[in-house]
Amino acid sequence: YYIRWWFSMFLSPSPPAVIMSSVLQKLITPLASGPAEPPRNKVTVVGVGQVGMACAISILLRDLADELALVDVMEDRLKGEMMDLQHGSLFLKTSKIVADKDYAVTANSRLVVVTAGVRQQEGESRLNLVQRNVNVFKMIIPQIMKYSPNCTLIVVSNPVDVLTYVTWKLSGLPKHRVIGSGTNLDSARFRYLMAERLGIHASSFNGWVLGEHGDTSVPVWSGANVAGVNLQKLNPEIGTDADKEQWKATHKAVVDSAYEVIKLKGYTNWAIGLSVADLTESIVKNMNRIHPVSTMVKDMYGITEEVFLSLPCVLSSGGVSSVVNMTLTDAEVSQLRKSADTLWGIQKDLKDI
């Protein structure tokens, strides 16, 4: 008898449920009726790998979302990441964190960050890598649009400029609502490395890296300045091979930095996560702040093809509200066109978009 009583008291699921229901009814008197209001700043992150979770935690720590949704095909990993974040709810101001492999969980998202994709295999061509990612995006993007037709998309997966173009094609969204994370991170790396050499904080050096997020990115030396003092006026050779101070090496370090980090720790995640949170803030807070992000550049700077490259873009609640027409040198424009040609060389051979 004693054993049966013990099991009924401590192992039966029924009594706790009854007690909790009773406590809830006694504790709280509901006043409002009807369905709950939908979230106003719901953010979804697609892909819970190292980059996706760095984006998620950066967005959470900056209090940018009233609901965060995570989506991935790896169910155990997805559930584990969701629970880990939920257990930290006391230290966050995001009231709801959800996750599922079913895209219904993303419904009513204001912003969707896409970090999912396949990794490059040893010896694999860039075109083949992109084509495999196109096949992944053909499953992801329509599902996002089904549940959040009014969202803005930020593409982070690499090669980001080509995949932003792919996303634009697959989503059917206007071009201003499809954004690539682009050279926002390249510019941050550039500002950090230049500022380190100058002995100042990164925010006090003003410089831009445009074009492709990759090997053909374009450092705008003609606009690099500190407190309005143009560095090219102090050193007309800055950024060229003729420069005795070899400032050009700083941009090479920007291009090589991702490879260096990957060599040391296996992947990059924290800096891109912080970069994406920076973009998220500008959009959800309607800040009209300028970022170098990947956008459609056809008919700009003599580019004739439908490619996405990074230019200084004003980000607001609707995505890219406008593009700043930077005064570039002939050499910089030439480099930008070369960047566009590199991307078009890949895009033109893509199939089934």
Is 181 one of the annotated binding-site residues? no
Type and span of the H or E element at 235: none
Query: Binding residue per annotation — 128?
Result: no
User: Is 89 known as a binding-site position?
Assistant: no
Residue 49 among known ligand-binding residues: yes
What is the DSSP secondary-structure string of 243-302? Answer: -TT-THHHHHHHHHHHHHHHHHHSS--HHHHHHHHHHHHHHHTT--EEEEEEEE-TTSTT
322 annotated to a ligand binding site: no
To the question of whether residue 51 is assigned a binding role by annotation, the answer is yes
Q: Is 63 annotated as a binding residue?
A: no
Q: Is 273 annotated for ligand binding? A: no
Cβ atoms of residues 140 and 114 within 8 Å:
yes
Q: Judge contact between 239 and 208, C-beta under 8 A.
A: no
DSSP 26-91: HH------SSPPPPSSEEEEE--SHHHHHHHHHHHHTT--SEEEEE-S-HHHHHHHHHHHHTTGGG
Residues whose CB falls within 8 Å of the CB of residue 232, separated by 6 or more in sequence, listed in order:
221, 222, 224, 238, 239
Q: Report residue 18 CA to chain centroid gap.
A: 45
Q: What one-character DSSP code corresponds to residue 322?
A: E
Name the residues annotated as catalytic: 213
How many residues does the structure list for the chain?
A: 353
H or E stretch covering 320: strand 319-323
Omega within 30 of 0 (cis) for the link into 159: yes
Tell me whether residue 113 is annotated as binding: no
Confirm if 52 and 115 have CB atoms less than 8 A apart. yes
Give the helix/strand (H/E) hosting 331: helix 330-347
Q: Which residues are annotated as a binding site for NAD(+)?
A: 47-52, 72, 133, 156-158
Q: Which residues are annotated as a binding site?
A: 47-52, 72, 133, 156-158
